[in-house]
Structure 1
Amino acid sequence: MDSSASGAEPMPIFYVGQHESRRSVPVTEQVLQQARDCGYDMLTTEISTPHLHAEVWKLLPSYFEELEGGVSADEIPIPLLPPFKPSETYLTPNEIIGQLLAFTSPWIDLSSPDPVVSNISRQIFNQEVAYAAFCGSGNIVVRGPNLGRGRASSEGIAQYARAINEALSLGPYVQIHIHLPIVPDPDWDNTGGVGHLAPLARPEFREFTSDGSQGSDILDAWDAWNTIRTLCKYNARLSVALSLPQHLPPVHVQWRWYSEPVRLLVLPGVSFLLNKRRQPVLSRGHQALISRFMRLKQQPWVLLSDVGPIPGLNDPNMLVPVATGFLSPDRAADASVGASTYPTPAEAAHGQDLSAKEINDPTPHLSYIRYLQKHQPPKPIIERFGAGYQDYLQAPLQPLTDNLESITYEVFEKDPIKYEWYERAITQALKDWVTENKPVSSLNGNVVVAVVGAGRGPLVTRALQASAASGVPIELYAIEKNPNAYVVLQRHNDEDWANRVTVIKSDMRAWKGPLRADGSIGQVDILISELLGSFADNELSPECLDGAQHVLNSYSGISIPASYTAHLSPIAAPKLHADILARAAQDPNVPETPHVVMLHAVDYLSTDGTRARSDSEAKSDTTTPNLETHSPMPDVQTCWSFTHPIPSRILAQSNLRRGGGASGGGGGMTGGDGANEHNARFCRLRFACKSRGVCHGLAGYFETVLYEGNGSNEWERVELSTNPVTMDRKSKDMISWFPIFFPLKVPLYIPDDSELQVSMWRQTDDRKVWYEWIVESFVNVGGKKMRLGMSDLHSSKKSGCLM
């Protein structure tokens, strides 16, 4: 996870294709080469020709005429389509087939309420998919279901989804992309092409509801997709080709699609505006959406649809320059908000003059996309650092039981914020120590500082620097159980620290304390550690620091960190769920194992307003939804907290219970003697969810107070946070920790205006620590809260952290 900050950030690669709804010529090797000479990376082709369409239109009407003549549908079979004839398909096995996006017939109706129409459509569809797979096509785009047929539409989506699931088995290596609008659009339902089969449905099956429920909702397209991928069990070969209109929907809808496996961003010609030079451009909202998608680990392809034919195909003598891919900034200037997309009367009167001044660009839409490619905003530091780790599930570390590798330590040490904040906390603590005239535990008047779990020594270096910055001398100890890291610490002490550090190989819980010259054991004034995991306590920081607290000066000793809290928020994470399903085939414990993951393509189900915007953002376009400047702020709630040092009475009772020594003690609630039961926790959280969605799990974060100070003039509260609500304020650009993800074995669907209730336990049996969690959904009906669903009780005990 090396950071690219040291060098120039590589320009993102846009793979741009060209699609024509009614391509005038078949795609041959020459056509594909011409498109590439113009700057396109790929082309689309329909699988079947108009000849097949004509045959079907002869077949179906004659069948319906026979039924209208009085013959019962039970007496005659549904027509069967013969195999493809050469004239009925554009495809043939050749060298370019793998470089094309194959489109199934847009005029079929897999979701038709008429069983005859849907049957014929499925026959055509299956033949197209099977033949395309035979020819070697790797990507097939399928038009999504009709969303504007009221109740018939909603009932037909399950039928459509079953057809897709069946098609996935016809081509085991084919990727199927469902072509859907980002929101339902009446024009979309009318663009299936002339001769669509939908009007052939018999009147008794063309049913609309009359209660007003046929009106579309902005999440209906997503609902359709959710039904399809759920029935297809989150198949990794199923994704979305998302069509973008000229006017984008609200940001929460954009974020919902951002969490889905969108493989194609389809930009129809009508999505573009015209700038003052009458060149096609995209709004700021479209630019932000594209930029956001292009920061994904798997970037979607861009498909320009119906933006004009490939230049030069109809005129072989036309000289078409190879596209350079870039525009000058003034020609690619963004469209003004609210400005007309058409020339003014004065501009129209001088249209010929304006045209003459324009550079003749045969592919202006493509040139604009290439301009956007070159001028993508830089990625945030954490994304550059975590390149390749987006939405990648990793097992949490267990540094208490495992000896970490050097490369793991190295990754942590690259954090530009964490150790600087630690040094600030240590410096302030040393200054306060002197200001308050606290007694020290050393015999020479120095403050005794111990770094427990020192690793390769970054905190040791920072403690020495803090001593120099504050002018307060320290007696420094570095405690590390890893025998390999112990070697590195000794080398640092010889070569970098001038032997000012006492390096000790020991488990921090077994260390007796500083050994003095007279053979006595001293105490520590400041105990420093970096034992926090992605959920704060999941790498057993409470247990480790409890075990080391006996070396801390009980009167004035402090711990850095002083406290930490764990936080949760429910999320939709379909990509993570699909990954967990795939891994569960080899390891059945995966669906109940918390994973550390750099969350990226996720959607927060419960939000609380939007993030604060800078002055420059506020002055920019405010009428166009923008994923960057209007990003939703998740509702992240606190689960529990830990404070160090813990009260001496709690520690004393813990020691008494160890070995069954507590009077009247009946053992621990979850096993063992109960010595670690004071570190068990429970919380119940409620999250309001305005928009419907699917909960795939819980995102976990933490906040920690390294040093809080105590009222001195130079007091400064030093904090770290991975909580997206507070991270920018407390520790912006910190990269040491990714969030933790608590999955659900079975996703939980929630309707609009519902509530999710999360119950979470931190459990322990004195040998290990694990988590258990339940998610429940509720909705208010007539003033009464009704439970809609509940997940299983998940438990990570089998993969818990050993003490």
Structure 2
Amino acid sequence: MNVILPEYMCFWYGEFPTNLETTIRNAEKHTFDGIVTPIANPLFSREFDNEKISEDHKVFTRPAMLVSQSRWNVNIIPKITDALDCDSSDDAVRKYSKKVLEQELKYAQHVRPYRSILVKLKSGNVLHLARIISRVINSSNIIVEVPLVDPATLKQKWMGDGGGDTGRMCGSDTWTWWNNFRMACDPSIHLSVALEINATPQEFPSWSNLRRWLGEPVRSLITPSYLYMKNDLSYYVLSDDYRIVFELLKKHSLNFMIKAAYIDDLDIRKFPEVVKFLTITHRVDTLRTANYDELVRACQPIRDEISNAIYSKMEDDPVKYRSYQNAISFAMLSKPQDSRVAILIVGAGRGALVRAVINAKRLTARQCKLYLVERNENAVFHLRALKKELWPDLDIDIVLGDIRDYMPPEQIDLIVSDLLGAFGDDCLYPECIYPTQKYAKPNAIYIPSKITSYLNPVMTTLHHYKAAKQGWSIYVGSPYEVYNIAEPEPVFEFSFPSPAVDSVEYEQHKRLLFKAEQNCVLHGFIGYFECILWEGEMISILPKTFTTGLMSWSPYYFPIDIPQYVKSSDTIELNFWRCATDTKMWYEWIINRPILCTIQNFQGLWWSADKR
């Protein structure tokens, strides 16, 4: 069962229709995919205590047979009655609401088994509601409707505009409503958010407050029909003032719900254009990031052999190899023009990095001797074929083996390597490259010449759900559907060559402090790297210095098994270790503040990189 509805769908969100089939057909005329409708007639008052009246009131909604089962499955999202208050301070109201909610949930599951049900939050007092919803959370997908702004805030503002007290607003943070509900239910992949735009842009929360929704499973956006206006070309689009929310969530897999009391109230000429605008615009953004939120376990750089398909994907990155080519060219130009440059290429793969070296050689008109070292036997077959067919006149030696066991027949001028991981040093870059200094010339150049890893704390509900389901590990993740609690800070730095290579510390520790800007939930840390190839030529996946167009790496996700609630202005203290033995390397991390947790990935239990 999948919590995410089919992507790019648009629904009409309205009142209880008297004829479901007719309403669905009308919605389809407006190019909507379906409707969001109350599961029960809101004018129907149910009685549970009086036996005779209760018997009469068992028929509280339309018969399910009025539409086909496929209509229920695809074209209808049932909505729980808004007026219910399961957390009322009035015992009678609370008990009545509980019984009605249970009845409606049971019927919704009957007509639409294992599919979505919409439930609206009206406050942060949600414990009784969450308790009831928890009973069905594993057999239904619960879409939680949350207003962007607390209606109480809007009500007070309107009263103030009318001459009342315009002092401190009484409304609360609606993200807190959702968080209370989510935590009380026990966070589940079957919970998602439908965020309702219920205020003007002037009434929106602050930008830092809005950004928290980036880390939440927002799967639907509810917008009133009047927000869509004609642009200069006479096409209906979302009003520019409201685009901030749309742009904020454009990387989420969103469905759209257009709110209007009755389907006939909609302009039949207007909404085909609106639906087209929403779906096409959102599709452009999401297609560009296909599979971006998939979590893949970090690879074993030495143990795992790279397949032909992965090589093909890695090599389809012109930005990366153009950057390498520029750095190699600069390095060659620093050598005397009449000199012969001995170049060692570590991790030659199927030849993409070799081509960058050969291109640089031709651009600089330098004489070169190339030593290609690759441990993947299948990749070496490619290299030998390339040498025979494309590079027969070049002076190239191809070596099958581990760089740590290799000794070239001469001293090396230039060491070029392609062993960078998403965290910089996670593919054993220092362990593999520092030993080459024993046969490098004193003025040898290393490309890359410096790598720095970075970490920042994040709230990412989706990544946490997936990591918990797939098993705790270090994952190759993404910065989408992620709320960055604080800016990244540098962790480990390795420079090449090292002035004291015999005393290089492969085991390192760093203590990092981060300041939270908003109340949020800490789910772990995102890891990046920044790399100086040589003389200012840089490649980076760090957001602030990101190399435009770079595709070879996605950031790492370092999870924590138990999420922590973090308050605004709290300090997050992280201790992070790079650990190493003769046989493996791994990372460990522990949070000291705001709440002390256990050591994560202790002794490499979740993930480690084998050295052989």
TM-score, normalised to structure 2's length?
0.89
Matches within 5 A, 1:117-128: 117-128=93-104
CA separation of 1:124 and 1:744: change in aligned 2, threshold 3 A: same
| Letter paired with 1:770 | W
**What is the match of residue 407 of structure 2?**
512
For the 8 Å contact 2:211–2:248, the answer to whether it is kept is: no
Distance 1:279 1:460 in 2: 51
Cα gap change, 1:512 to 1:558, in 2 (>3 Å)? same
Matches within 5 A, 1:18-417: 18-21=12-15, 23-28=16-21, 30-50=22-42, 52-53=44-45, 55-56=46-47, 82=54, 85=57, 87-93=59-65, 94-95=68-69, 96-98=71-73, 99-136=75-112, 138-144=115-121, 146-147=122-123, 154=124, 156-168=125-137, 172=139, 174-186=140-152, 215-217=170-172, 220-245=173-198, 246-247=200-201, 248-269=204-225, 271-272=227-228, 282-296=238-252, 299-306=253-260, 308-310=262-264, 361-374=267-280, 379=285, 384=288, 386-388=289-291, 390-417=292-319
1:576 aligns with 2:468: no
Corresponding letter in the other structure for 2:600:
H
Q: Does 1:532 align with 2:498?
A: no
Q: Deviations over 1:525-561 (max 9, x none)?
A: 10110101011011110101123332322x1112111
Contact preservation (8 Å) 1:570, 1:698: yes
CA-to-partner distance for each residue in 1:334-378, whole Å, 9 max, x for gaps?
xxxxxxxxxxxxxxxxxxxxxxxxxxx525245334234445695
Partner SS state of residue 793, structure 1 = coil
**2:544 is matched with which residue: 699, 703, 725?**
725
Inter-partner Cα distance in structure 2 for 1:81 and 1:486: 82
Structure ranking higher in strand proportion = 2
Q: Identity, % of aligned pairs? A: 25
Cα distance in 2 for residues equivalent to 1:13 and 1:122: 33
Q: For residues 321 and 53 of structure 2, what CA distance do their matches in structure 1 show?
A: 70
Q: Distance in 2 between matches of 1:238 and 1:188?
A: 27
- Looking at structure 1, the residues matched to 237 and 132 of structure 2 have their Cα atoms a distance apart, in angstroms, of 38
| Contact 1:269–1:307 under 8 Å retained in 2 | no
Q: Is the 8 A contact 2:522 2:566 kept in 1?
A: yes
The alpha-carbon distance between structure 1 residues 456 and 102, as it changes in their structure 2 partners (threshold 3 A), is same
Alpha carbons of 1:567 and 1:181: their partners in 2 closer, same or farther (altered >3 Å)?
same
Give the counterpart letter for 1:483 in structure 2: E
Following superposition, the deviation at residue 703 of structure 1 comes to: 0.6
Say if 1:80 and 1:420 are closer, same or farther in 2 by CA, change over 3 A.
farther
Q: Which amino acid aligns with 1:551?
A: Y
Deviation (angstroms), 1:159 = 2.5
* TM-fit CA distance, 1:107: 1.1
**How big is the shift at 1:292?**
4.8
Q: Match of 2:567, as an amino acid?
A: P
Consecutive unaligned residues in structure 2, runs of 5 or more: 1-5, 157-166
Determine if contact 1:449/1:526 at 8 Å carries over to the other structure: yes
Distance 2:56 2:184 in 1: 29
Alignment of 1:592-741 (within 5 A): 593-606=473-486, 635-647=487-499, 649-651=500-502, 678-708=505-535, 717-727=536-546, 731-741=547-557
Conserved in 2, the CA contact under 8 Å of 1:745 and 1:792?
no
Other structure's SS at 1:556 match = strand
The CA distance in 1 between the partners of 2:433 and 2:220, in whole Å, is: 50
Instruction: Give the secondary-structure state (helix, strand or coil) at the position aligned to 1:547.
Output: helix
Quote the offset at 1:637 in angstroms. Answer: 0.8
Asked if the contact 1:268–1:307 (Cα under 8 Å) also holds between the matched residues in 2, the reply is no
Correspondent of 2:384 among 467, 470, 490:
490
SS of match in other structure, 2:544 = coil
Q: 1:282 to 1:51 in 2, by over 3 A?
A: closer
Q: Give the Cα–Cα distance (whole angstroms) in 1 for the partners of residues 275 and 209 of structure 2.
A: 23
Q: Helix, strand or coil: the match of 1:88?
A: coil
> Which amino acid is the alignment partner of residue 107 of structure 1?
A
Give the SS at the match of 1:428: helix
Contact 1:256 1:603 in 2 (8 A): yes
Contact 1:415 1:736 in 2 (8 A): yes
SS of the equivalent of 2:424 reads coil
User: How many angstroms apart in 2 are the aligned matches of 1:503 and 1:285?
Assistant: 60
Of 405, 414, 432, which aligns to 1:544?
432
Q: Does 1:802 align with 2:587?
A: no
Confirm or deny: 8 A CA contact 2:7 2:254 kept in the other structure.
Answer: no
Change (3 A) 1:291 1:737: same
Q: Per-residue deviation at 1:775?
A: 2.0
Structure number with larger C-alpha Rg = 1
Partner residue, 2:561: 745
Query: Are residues 1:446 and 2:328 paired?
Result: no
Q: Which moved more, 1:113-122 or 1:485-494?
A: 113-122
Change in 2 beyond 3 A, CA 1:126/1:213: farther
Q: TM (normalized to structure 1)?
A: 0.68
| One-letter amino acid of the counterpart of residue 508, structure 2 | R
The change in CA–CA distance for 1:184 and 1:51 in structure 2 (over 3 A counts) is closer
How far is 1:13 from its partner? 6.6
Q: Deviations over 1:284-337 (max 9, x none)?
A: 2533533553433xx22111111642379xxxxxxxxxxxxxxxxxxxxxxxxx
**Distance 1:81-1:240 versus aligned 2 partners, 3 A rule:** farther
1:561 aligns with one of 420, 440, 448? 448
Give the aligned CA root-mean-square deviation in angstroms. Answer: 2.9
Q: Would the alpha carbon gap of residues 495 and 277 (structure 1) be closer, same or farther in structure 2, given more than 3 Å must change?
A: closer
Unaligned segments of structure 1, at least 5 residues: 1-11, 63-78, 148-153, 191-211, 313-360, 438-444, 514-520, 585-589, 607-634, 654-676, 709-716, 778-787
User: For 1:83 and 1:535, how far apart are their aligned partners in 2?
Assistant: 65
Q: Per-residue displacement from partner, 1:641-678 (whole Å, max 9, x unpaired)?
A: 0011223x442x5xxxxxxxxxxxxxxxxxxxxxxx71
Cα deviation, residue 687, structure 1: 1.1
TM-superposed deviation, 1:508: 0.6
Quote the offset at 1:734 in angstroms: 0.6
Question: Residues 246-281 of structure 1: CA distance to partner in whole angstroms, max 9, x if unpaired?
Answer: 324332233211321122211123545687999975
User: What is aligned with 1:462?
Assistant: 356
Q: Distance in 1 between matches of 2:148 and 2:13?
A: 18
Secondary structure of the 1:44 match is strand
Q: 1:449, 1:524 within 8 Å by CA — same for their partners in 2?
A: yes
How far residue 168 of structure 1 moved from its aligned partner, in angstroms, is 2.1
CA distance in 1: counterparts of 2:57 and 2:297, whole angstroms: 53
How many residue pairs were aligned?
Answer: 585
Question: Counterpart of 1:17?
Answer: 11
1:663 matched to which residue of 2?
none
Give, as a single letter, the amino acid of the residue that structure 1 aligns with 2:482.
V
Taking the aligned partners of 2:265 and 2:126, their CA distance within structure 1 comes to: 39
Structure 2 CA distance for aligned equivalents of residues 737 and 255 of structure 1: 25
